[in-house]
Amino acid sequence: MDAIRIVNVSGNDRPSDILIKDRYARLWVYNKDLELLWKFNHNNTGHFPYGYDFNGDGKDEIFSCYNMIDSEGKLMWKLPIDVDHTDEIIVDRFNPDEEERIAIVSGWEGFMIVDKQGHILKRDINGHGQRISAANYCPDRKGLEICTTTYWEYQGIIYLYDCDGNELWYMEPSTNGNIIAPVNWQGDGTELILLNGNTALGGMLDGEGDRVVTFPDDGHPDMCAEVINLTGDARDEIVLWDDKKMYIYTQDRPCEITDKEYIPDKYPHYNCSNYRGEFSFAKWRDLK
């Protein structure tokens, strides 16, 4: 098996169905009692299918590679692409004036924004697109910005797009393996972009592409990196590790905002995967 994801094709109060897949031909969906609900093997499944209630009926549809599959396992539509496969997927109203869109990176088929009916609205074939994230990286702009990075051949090129998929900038920070996960570091509603734990070339970028947070030269490992909230407030910590040791980094001062707290919606821990697209959708909590 290649991936496991918790979905809700049964219309339950909370996601409890189990999707499993191989690489890259078949997927199966079971209920919480491990009874097979349906299987799908018509087209490439990609790395990590996405479950989302696109039609508002209380049940997830499954977007898998280039395929939209209904809650009963029937193919609704597919994108007009037959090569490579989708690596990462995010769904949201990136532009607050539009309905939900599907943002994907699909290897040599590039970065795409797709509507719920399967129309490709924006496409940028910019190298082997591998990772994608969406967050409020540029608070002065409308909606959410979308960040992607490339692997293979031209490695580690980072692109930032506006909420409609128009390129804002690109850069080549000289390191592959960039995580590009959104980081709630300051607690003020502005997200940073995590590259990796490399002391010289890693750290975090702001929405202008400037490296604004670096890691100390303290002997920490930089093989792997993860963004996760660990210490109790809503801000994120950064975990760096390899097969021998782990370091955890947090802020060196309290959040300056005291009357409210920025608590963005992020990928649920139960669906963590190396191939998840990262997102951070803004939400505030009043502390008064």
Residues 271 and 156 both lie in one domain: yes
Residues 108 and 221 both lie in one domain: yes
Residues 176 and 255 both lie in one domain: yes
Q: Name the domain count of the chain.
A: 2
The secondary element (H helix, E strand) that includes residue 255 is: none
pLDDT at 74: 97
> Does residue 122 contact residue 106 with C-beta atoms inside 8 Å?
no
pLDDT at 147: 98
pLDDT > 90: percent of the chain:
88
Which among 244, 195, 236, 253 is positioned nearest to 220, based on CA atoms?
A: 244
pLDDT at 98: 96
**Domain boundaries, position 66:** 1-78
Give 41's pLDDT tier (boundaries 50, 70, 90): very high
Residues 103 and 164 both lie in one domain: yes
Give 177's pLDDT tier (boundaries 50, 70, 90): confident
pLDDT at 288: 77
pLDDT at 173: 86
In the predicted structure, residue 236 carries a pLDDT above the cut 90: yes
Among 39, 62, 78, where does a domain finish? 78
Residues 133 and 10 both lie in one domain: no
In the predicted structure, residue 154 carries a pLDDT above the cut 80: no
Q: What angle do CA 154, 179, 262 make, to 5 degrees?
A: 140
Residues 43 and 173 both lie in one domain: no
CA–CA dist 224, 263 (Å, integer): 25
Q: What is the CATH number of the domain that holds 25?
A: 2.40.10
> Does residue 228 contact residue 235 with C-beta atoms inside 8 Å?
no
CA–CA dist 18, 31 (Å, integer): 6
pLDDT, the chain, mean: 95
Residues 3 and 108 both lie in one domain: no
The DSSP annotation for 126-170 comes to -S-EEEEEEE-S-TTSSS-EEEEEE-SSSTT-EEEE-TTS-EEEE
pLDDT at 278: 96
Entry pTM: 0.95
Among 61, 78, 95, where does a domain finish? 78
Among 20, 53, 78, where does a domain finish? 78
Which among 237, 189, 245, 243 is positioned nearest to 219, based on CA atoms?
A: 245
Helix (H, G, I), strand (E, B) or coil at 269: helix
